[in-house]
Structure 1
Amino acid sequence: MNGKRRIRPAPLALAALVLASGTASGSLPLGDLDRASRARDAILEMELGAARAVLEGADPSDPSLALEQGRLFIYDADCDAAAALLARPDLAATREGAALGDIARGCARATAATVVVEDQPRGIWVRLQDDDDRAFVPLLAEVADRVRAVLAKDLGVELPRPLRIDLVRDQHTLAAHTGLPLEAAQTTGTVAVAKWGRVIMISPRATLQGYGWLDTLAHEMTHLALSRGTRDNAPLWLQEGVAKREEVRWRAPDPLDDIPPVDAVALLGLEKGLGRPLDKLGPSIAMLPTAEEASVAFAEVASFIRYWAAENGDDALPQLLVRLKEAHSAEDVDRAIAAVSGADLAGWDKRWRGWLSATPRDVPQELLPWGSVPNRKEVAKRLRLGELLDERGHHTAAATQLARAQVLAPHEATARSSLAAALLASGEKGSAAPLVEKVEDVRNSVGRWWSLHGLLHGGDGPEADQAFWNGVGLNPLDPDIACEEKPAPALPADAVRAGICETARRAPR
């Protein structure tokens, strides 16, 4: 995903859930099926201690119990043990055993020579493919702790300890860990997956300008909470809609959180034929044919859940999750929804679409998934030339090129922040400051815009701290952003962010 800087849509953050597959073989493994079912239920609820107790002393030749032991090894992050067990011919002969074996072997390859870092007080376990990412662990643990508390309140689900997070190098490794086809991950820009009882996410160093990695963590933790709370019975529309809702509830609201407005994207996307019925999204939004369809699907489910939750109150989601734990069919899901909210999915879908029809449509075309940025090529050329000049110390010449890009794309945060940085380096602070003053002037969130905003408008108080936090949450390996625009060897006052700053200076992407 590395390459020259371009104006492009942000990666789909936020991310994707690949639903745990049921046994897909025409010839199920024989053996103690009741005991295997109890073990599987415990595993899907992420009650791994209970699953171990169920499987303790199990006959190793019993194929149904061995299959669940292999699944437990995967959830326990012991991929080598899972791969060895699932290589048994009787297990590999079934479609589910073969699929689990492929996951186990991919995971075992991907986790060779990895580093595990634990934050025991917060109950966080992080496995790193790249030891240079170690500086991210304290911030991951801090955010995960906040998210866990919010999910317990919002969903009534307490995530287990330790919560396991894999921070991987690239989409190839993401696919190997999860079973998500690589082509699908690349098509939709997937950067994280909740699967096998843990969060697997790409390191911020894998993308040229980073991505919203902390909100992504919150999104994927929500998937885990929903899987745990429903015994993996939550339909995809509920999983993704609630995850989009929860991904920002752990932190202070950002004025850019709903730009472009999900209601408008959903409405216009449906009218354009890019939408799908809520219950016909397929196994994963990450596997939709195009990034545009994936963006519209995320907007649909986010808009629907926001509407449904507002109409039914704070207690509705926790109540629904409890009822879904015993759901075994689409009809059971409908009955659960109706019991909690007075109407089934079709009824609520009709109400939502009626409400959605009144949504304002005046969204700039460049903000829509299928839209195009005016003068895209010219803007990209001016940005690249300006950045090259700036890197070589020709700040005034750089500012000339970047000013042309900013005129052509006045609300583009990259153009504004790059120009502000060049002007600042030229000693023109007065001209730089207005470019990064008002968040209302931009339509996308960029780490450098936030760090310069913190420097020029935050003072020494909480506004600056929040701006620097926002910057690190988007692009922690740009030294200017990570170090809060301080020249070396100065460091941020916050110890965690100081560690990230040192890493950004020593080992930038």
Structure 2
Amino acid sequence: MQAQRHRGTEAQRHRGTDSQIFAVLLALCIGTFLLCPGVLWAGQPSLTEMVERGEAALERWEMAEARQWVKKIEAFTPLPAEAEFFRSRVWFYQGEYDRAVETIGRAVTLDPDNEMYQGYQGFFTNTRLATQGLESVQSEHFTLLIDREKDGILIPYALEALEQAYQVFGKQFGFTPRERVRVEIFPDPERFYHASSLSRRDIEVSGAIGICKFNKIMLLSPRTLLRGYRWLDALTHEYMHYVMVHLTNNKAPIWLHEGVAKYQEYLWRSPRSLYLNPVNETLLANALRENDFVSFAQMDPSLVKLDTTHQVRLAYAEAASAIDFILQRVGYPGLQRILQHIAQAEEQGAQQAIQEELRLDFAAFERQWKAFLRQQNLQEIPGVYLEKYTLKDRVKDEEEWGLQEIRSQVVRNHVRLGDLFRSRGRLVPAVLEYKKALRKSHPSPFLYNKLGKALLLRGRYAEALTYLEKAKTLYPDYVTTYTNLGILFLQQKRLAEAEEAFTEAIQINPFDPQVHQGLYQIYLLRGEREKAAQAEKTVQTLLMR
């Protein structure tokens, strides 16, 4: 008994010592964890692995996941340069430019010889400067940054088109973004260049007036271009790029990216795609006749970097028609499966995905796509105008641009004489001079509008309409045509057609007061007082500029 009691006491004593040691070790571990939160437990990824996983999420524009990795990384102190660099990019992609500039500054301080960090520091700083003064306006699914004083008129049209695209594309592709999409509209080219990484050449040769990059949409105000441009289609085009990034984990090849975006850009306002307009039809017909295509490989890394405006426009037409071909074969469900396959593939590219869905290798796909084009019986339309975007600082006004487009001095003289007669109210000789100009010139949307407007003023509506429709065919994006059509229909009390024409003009250049004045008159005639009051307010705003 004594021995047993002794042994029991000894055991109890050792157990007490063990407990005390365990308590001390536990306290030391807890203290170490509290003092050094970056301590890793078994199976936990290292800081380097965390940064890599965060970068992968950022590459896919999965911002919620990227923010989670930022939170985990911030448990480590102090942070190395690569971690600060990653954090700065997350802030930038979220539009938090002040935090981005501050954080990239720390990365540069930690690694002052890193030229990549320095480049990002300059870019982040320039973007912050370019977006200063832009006001935030929100709709249900979008955040719009805009210069309200200069471009406030764009706000309702922009948000309405984007929300419409959100609904249409969501139904077609089975995807809608979880967070509001950031959209920045820049009031001048210089600020757009700094924020977008595009150049004047990209705008004027390639027509790059918008871009979807850095988890946001950026657009140049149509106010800055001489004749405006299809800015609402451009917004929805870029939104489709945003959707594509998420659907494919940012791994779609450029021809597929641009093809889907070009095909879809019209669908916010039309039940069918309008990509096959007279210009694109002519480009594709010519490419078939000459067997001179821009190959899908040539489109990488960007259509913007192709050499000529002709190549850029042809590439867009080809890519959109390839999507049309895919949709004819497998519909939107099949296109969704192609995009899902691309997202799940280890490498970028669409060839394997297309082969899986269409049961065609890529060479056979290209052959059958071109056969599909030949079956369309595409026609080359003489005189179609291949638009080049012109910034306002290049040309004084539309009259100067129109005369520059006319190569013959004789034709220019007829136009100037016609303008002189019209300004003096002598419409009969004005019409004669414009007709002489047309007979001695190639088909010209500028001249068709000159003649159409003079005939309109004479009350010869049917003949005026003939010439304005010709202008519309040759140059579907020429805003003056739609303005003149709106005036013509309004004078004939064809109110629905007048409203449609004026609305089309707004989709190209909403800064012309006479377009809104026309809508004001339509709404008054219909008794739609609220709409009339809004149109009148817009007219006054524009006249006060």
TM-score (norm 1): 0.80
Alpha-carbon distance in 2 for matches of 1:404, 1:356 = 38
Alpha-carbon distance in 2 for matches of 1:170, 1:374 = 24
Alpha-carbon distance in 1 for matches of 2:251, 2:244 = 9
In the alignment, is the contact (CA less than 8 A) between 2:418 and 2:434 conserved in 1? yes
**Matched residue of 1:117: which SS?**
strand
Partner residue of 1:252?
Answer: 270
Deviation of 1:240 after TM superposition, in Å, equals 0.4
Partner residue of 1:444?
Answer: 475
In the alignment, is the contact (CA less than 8 A) between 1:255 and 1:439 conserved in 2? no
Partner residue of 2:165?
Answer: 147
Letter in 1 for 2:104: L
**Matched residue of 2:407: which SS?**
helix
For 1:56-135, list aligned pairs within 5 A: 56-57=71-72, 58=74, 59=76, 61-87=79-105, 88-89=107-108, 93-94=113-114, 97-119=117-139, 122-129=140-147, 131-135=149-153
For 1:344-355, list aligned pairs within 5 A: 344-355=361-372
Deviation of 1:103 after TM superposition, in Å, equals 2.9
Deviation of 1:41 after TM superposition, in Å, equals 4.1
1:499–1:43 CA distance, 2 compared to 1 (3 A):
farther
1:404–1:279 CA distance, 2 compared to 1 (3 A):
same
**Matched residue of 1:453: which SS?**
helix
Bigger mean CA offset, 335-344 vs 221-230: 335-344
1:375–1:148 CA distance, 2 compared to 1 (3 A):
closer
Higher relative contact order (CA 8 A, sep 6+): 1
Letter in 2 for 1:428: G
Of 244, 258, 283, which residue of structure 2 is paired with 1:265?
283
Partner residue of 2:328?
Answer: 310
Partner residue of 1:336?
Answer: 353
Deviation of 1:193 after TM superposition, in Å, equals 1.0
Alpha-carbon distance in 2 for matches of 1:206, 1:152 = 32
In the alignment, is the contact (CA less than 8 A) between 1:79 and 1:104 conserved in 2? yes
Deviation of 1:167 after TM superposition, in Å, equals 1.1
CA offset digits 1:188-224 (Å, max 9, x no partner) = 2321111112111111111111111111111111111
CA offset digits 1:405-449 (Å, max 9, x no partner) = 45556864443334343454x553547753467579732223232
Alpha-carbon distance in 1 for matches of 2:69, 2:131 = 28
Alpha-carbon distance in 1 for matches of 2:484, 2:272 = 17
1:271–1:68 CA distance, 2 compared to 1 (3 A):
farther
Alpha-carbon distance in 2 for matches of 1:169, 1:36 = 36
1:273–1:160 CA distance, 2 compared to 1 (3 A):
farther
1:192–1:64 CA distance, 2 compared to 1 (3 A):
same
Of 445, 464, 476, which residue of structure 1 is paired with 2:510?
476
Unaligned runs of 5+ in 2: 1-44, 389-402
Deviation of 1:475 after TM superposition, in Å, equals 1.7
**Matched residue of 1:377: which SS?**
coil
Bigger mean CA offset, 289-298 vs 351-360: 351-360
1:201–1:52 CA distance, 2 compared to 1 (3 A):
same
Partner residue of 1:40?
Answer: 55
Of 318, 323, 344, which residue of structure 2 is paired with 1:326?
344
**Matched residue of 1:315: which SS?**
helix
1:500–1:328 CA distance, 2 compared to 1 (3 A):
farther
TM-score (norm 2): 0.75
Greater CA radius of gyration, 1 or 2? 2
Alpha-carbon distance in 2 for matches of 1:148, 1:496 = 26
Deviation of 1:233 after TM superposition, in Å, equals 0.9
* Matching of residue 505 in structure 1 with residue 543 in structure 2: yes
Partner residue of 1:11?
Answer: none
In the alignment, is the contact (CA less than 8 A) between 2:472 and 2:481 conserved in 1? no
* Matching of residue 428 in structure 1 with residue 459 in structure 2: yes
1:433–1:369 CA distance, 2 compared to 1 (3 A):
closer
CA offset digits 1:328-375 (Å, max 9, x no partner) = 324x6332222222234333112213333455464134327599x998
Bigger mean CA offset, 376-385 vs 136-145: 376-385
Alpha-carbon distance in 1 for matches of 2:265, 2:168 = 10
Bigger mean CA offset, 99-108 vs 427-436: 427-436
Of 473, 493, 498, which residue of structure 1 is paired with 2:531?
493
Alpha-carbon distance in 2 for matches of 1:419, 1:485 = 24
In the alignment, is the contact (CA less than 8 A) between 2:253 and 2:300 conserved in 1? no
Unaligned runs of 5+ in 1: 1-29
Letter in 2 for 1:456: L
In the alignment, is the contact (CA less than 8 A) between 1:130 and 1:169 conserved in 2? no
Alpha-carbon distance in 2 for matches of 1:254, 1:315 = 17
1:160–1:494 CA distance, 2 compared to 1 (3 A):
farther
For 1:274-293, list aligned pairs within 5 A: 275-293=293-311
CA offset digits 1:440-496 (Å, max 9, x no partner) = 973222323223323433646533322221111112112222332768xx8993666
Alpha-carbon distance in 1 for matches of 2:111, 2:342 = 30
Deviation of 1:376 after TM superposition, in Å, equals 3.0
**Matched residue of 1:82: which SS?**
helix
In the alignment, is the contact (CA less than 8 A) between 2:263 and 2:274 conserved in 1? no
Bigger mean CA offset, 64-73 vs 243-252: 64-73
CA offset digits 1:292-349 (Å, max 9, x no partner) = 211121122112111122112221122222222233324x633222222223433311
More helix by share: 2
1:348–1:437 CA distance, 2 compared to 1 (3 A):
same
**Matched residue of 2:453: which SS?**
helix
**Matched residue of 2:150: which SS?**
helix
1:39–1:441 CA distance, 2 compared to 1 (3 A):
closer
Alpha-carbon distance in 2 for matches of 1:94, 1:355 = 51
For 1:317-466, list aligned pairs within 5 A: 317-330=335-348, 333-358=350-375, 360=377, 362-367=379-384, 369=386, 376-378=406-408, 396=427, 399=431, 401-407=433-439, 412-424=444-456, 426=457, 428=459, 430=461, 433-435=464-466, 438=469, 442-445=473-476, 446-457=478-489, 459=493, 461-466=495-500
CA offset digits 1:88-135 (Å, max 9, x no partner) = 32567556545533431221221123332333xx33222224622012
In the alignment, is the contact (CA less than 8 A) between 1:115 and 1:129 conserved in 2? yes
Of 230, 236, 240, which residue of structure 1 is paired with 2:258?
240
1:404–1:54 CA distance, 2 compared to 1 (3 A):
farther
Alpha-carbon distance in 2 for matches of 1:364, 1:99 = 47
Alpha-carbon distance in 2 for matches of 1:234, 1:92 = 35
In the alignment, is the contact (CA less than 8 A) between 2:445 and 2:470 conserved in 1? no
Alpha-carbon distance in 2 for matches of 1:454, 1:149 = 29
1:346–1:402 CA distance, 2 compared to 1 (3 A):
same
Deviation >6 Å, runs of 4+: 253-256
Partner residue of 2:238?
Answer: 220
In the alignment, is the contact (CA less than 8 A) between 1:114 and 1:130 conserved in 2? yes
Letter in 2 for 1:166: E
1:306–1:157 CA distance, 2 compared to 1 (3 A):
same
In the alignment, is the contact (CA less than 8 A) between 1:263 and 1:356 conserved in 2? no
Alpha-carbon distance in 2 for matches of 1:63, 1:255 = 48
Of 206, 212, 216, which residue of structure 2 is paired with 1:198?
216
